[in-house]
Structure formats: C-alpha cells, structure tokens
Amino acid sequence: MENLTLKLIDQRFLPHELKIFETTEFEEVIFAIKNMAVRGSPAIGATAAYGMALASSQKMNAKQAAKALRGSRPTGYDLFFAVDFMLTAIEKGEDPLKAAKKYAEEVENRCKAIGLHGEKIIEDGFRILTHCNAGALATVDYGTALSPIRFAHYKGKKIFVYVDETRPKLQGAKLTAWELNQEGIDHAIIADNAAGHFMRKGEIDMVMVGADRITSTGDFANKIGTYEKAVLAKENKIPFYVAAPMNTFDFSLKNGEDIVIEERSEEEVLEINGHSIAPKGSRARNPVFDVTPSNYVTGFITERGILSRKELKKVRK
C-alpha cells in the first residue's frame, strides 16, 4: 500500500469557504483532529480509522499510531472504538485501507438507520431544537441528530429547526445552519441562552441532540450546554432524544462522572473568529462537553431502534 492521501472537508472554514484538508502525513491527521478541521465524534472515529491505514502505509508501528490517535481528543468514544477496530483488523492481517473503508461505510449505514427510525417520531409541523452540529459533517453522511430531521424532510413533513449557535466554536451557527441550508430545511439560529424562552412559550416540540460518549446507564457527554437544555426540556415537558450509533456507547463506563471532559484553550472563549471580545487580563474556562444524566433522556435513537435507558442494559455491541 503506497501514497495514501486523506481528504477531509476542513470544517474550520465553513460556512463561507468549502476547503479540503488533504494530507499524506500521519502527524497531520493528528493535527486535523486536535485542531478540529474534523470534529464530531463519529467523523473523528472514521478519520482515525483512515489515520491507522495511513500509518500502516508508512510502515509505522500500529500500536504507536493507536497511542497518538487516542491522545488527540479525550471525550468522544468513536475515536477509541475505531482505533480498536483497526488494531483488531491489522492483527488479523486484513488490509488496513479496506478495514478503514468498511468502518466508514458502517458508520454511514448506522446513521442512515438512525434517520429511518428517528423520522417516525417527528410529527408533521414539529419544531425541533438541536445543539452543536450532529449532522453529516460530524459523521460520514446523514448525521445522528440531523438524520431523522433529514428523513422527516424527505418524507414531506413540514418541520422547523431551532439551531443553538453553540459557543464557543459556533458549530450550530456555522455548520448545522450550513447543512440545513443545503437541504432547504426551515430553521433559525438562536443564541445559546434563548432556548428556555422558546420552550416556555410552547414553540419547541422536541429536542434532538447527538452524543460523544454514552455510558451503560445512559448518562452521556455532548457539547457543552446540552445538560442545561435537557433540564429545561424536562421542566417544560418537552421530549428529549439523543441520537447516536452504537460506536458512541462506552459500555465499560457506568456513570457520567467517569467520562473525561476535554478542556480546550481559553482563547476559544476569549475570542470569536480570532478577534478578542474580552478585556485584556481576563481569564476563561473552557470545558467543551458536559454530562447529562440519563433520567433526562426520553429515548436513544440508534441504528437498532429507539431505546429507553432501561433497554440499554439489554444491548451490547
């Protein structure tokens, strides 16, 4: 295997520029994940799978490549799942590129199935709140939380999506809105602190989010701000769904407290698009995920169907 080139949509430049991040270097795969040229747990997983194939094409030691990839971002489980999948394939003597393709195709199929299951609970006229970007960009195609929304739209249901802007990196305003625009799905970007207002006014019928890591009891990590949306949804009696493939479930963990939460640079909070918005000398804290306890979740939309948190116990990969 020679001259492998990895190509990714560089998510740092959307929505205004569609640039491709192209590399033949393993180190640049790590760079792309760390610097969020690629982001979203399932997309990071698929990238890591190809990263392992690239490492192998360069005769890098697979265990060392796996270690470097595992160290790139700590919270999303798909990365770890993908690296283990690739290590097993390599140990069995399978072609690493074929294994990576298989992994990515499986993610795509899982997301399609999530859409087909999840579409059924979206009623015509529903107004849905989503947080961060859990769309095609964050996966391989279709998305997780955006997949049921896509299929409801394809079926002709009239839906409206409230898109949390999702500070500090603005994945909602930049990426989710870009995807919804491409599909012609009606939506409005709202400030992160506006969701409670719309919920109380009865303007949101359902919340649908993705996940970065889900424990065996259903506690889950997702983009910072998800927890407060879940609490608000419960207070306002609005169903709250989490859409994720089984690759995001970490059955080795029981409780949300066991999930490692990534804390990124202060600049991401102190600046917007590289422009300072805070007084010089002010510090910031930047945990980029939070944990929502499972009792806030109405159901998990997976490729195996829609599962209650109690049903998770019966499920194993």
Tell me 123's DSSP state. P
Site string for ligand MRU, 204-243 (x = CB under 6 A): ------xxx---------xx--------------------
Q: Are 189 and 173 in contact (CB under 8 A)?
A: yes
Dihedral pair phi/psi, residue 105, rounded to 5°: -65, -40
Query: 3-class SS at 72?
Result: coil
Spell out, one character per residue from 67 to 106, where the chain touches ligand MRU: x when CB under 6 A holds, - when not. ---------x------------------------------
Distance CA(210)–CA(206), nearest Å, equals 14
> Of the ranges 36-44, 118-126, 233-241, 302-310, which one interacts with ligand MRU (CB under 6 A)?
36-44
* Least CB distance to ligand MRU at residue 282 (A): 23
Q: Which is nearer to ligand MRU, 29 or 89 (CB)?
A: 29
Alpha-carbon gap, residue 242 to 239, rounded angstroms: 10
Type of residue at 282:
S
> Which one of the spans 60-68, 137-145, 181-189, 190-198 is the region binding ligand MRU (CB under 6 A)?
137-145
Residue 169 and residue 310: Cα distance in Å, rounded? Answer: 34
Cβ-based nearer residue to ligand MRU, 43 or 89: 43
CA–CA gap between residue 317 and residue 313 (Å, rounded):
11
CA distance 185 to 163: 12
- Give 90 or 113: the residue with its C-beta nearer to ligand MRU: 113
Q: Which member of 10, 78, 192, 212 is catalytic? A: 212
Residue 97 CA to residue 220 CA, distance in Å, equals 31
| 171 interacts with ligand MRU by CB under 6 A | yes
**φ and ψ of 289, to 5 deg:** -135, 160
Residue among 138 and 307 whose Cβ is closer to ligand MRU: 138
**Is 290 among the catalytic positions?**
no
Tell me if 113 contacts ligand MRU by CB under 6 A. no
Residues of this chain that interact with ligand MRU (CB under 6 A) are: 39-42, 76, 132, 134, 138-139, 143-144, 171, 210-212, 222-223, 288
